[in-house]
Amino acid sequence: TVMACGDVIYRSTLPHNDGLTITAPGVALALAAASYLWATPGVAPGFFDMFVLAFAERLFRPTFRKDDFVPGKKLGEGAFGVVYKASLADPKAAEKQGDVVVKKATEYGAVEIWMNERVRRACASSCADFLYGFRESKTKGKGEEYWLIWRYEGEDTLSALMQSKEFPYNVETKILGNVQDLPKGIARENKIVQTVMGQLLFALDGLHSTGIVHRDIKPQNVIFSEGNDQHICLQFHTKIFSTDLFTFSPLEESRTFKIIDLGAAADLRVGINYIPKEFLLDPR
Bridge partners of 103, per DSSP, are: 83, 148
Question: What are the φ/ψ torsions at residue 13 (nearest 5 degrees)?
Answer: -90, -10
Contact 112, 263 (CB under 8 A): yes
Helix (H) or strand (E) holding 73: strand 69-78
Residues whose CB is less than 8 angstroms from the CB of residue 84 and which lie 6 or more positions away in sequence, other chains included:
71, 72, 73, 74, 75, 101, 102, 103, 104
Any idea which residues carry the catalytic annotation?
216
DSSP for residue 164:
S
DSSP-derived letter for residue 21 is: P
Q: Is 138 annotated as a binding residue?
A: no
- Partnered with residue 227 across adjacent β-strands are none
Beta bridge partners of 132: 149
Closest CA to 253 of 149, 189, 178, 187: 178
**Cα three-residue angle 210-213-214, rounded to 5 degrees:** 120
Give the closest residue to 128 by CA, choosing from 163, 107, 104, 156.
156
User: How many whole angstroms from its chain centre is CA 220?
Assistant: 17
Helix (H, G, I), strand (E, B) or coil at 49: helix
> Which residues line the annotated binding site for ATP?
104
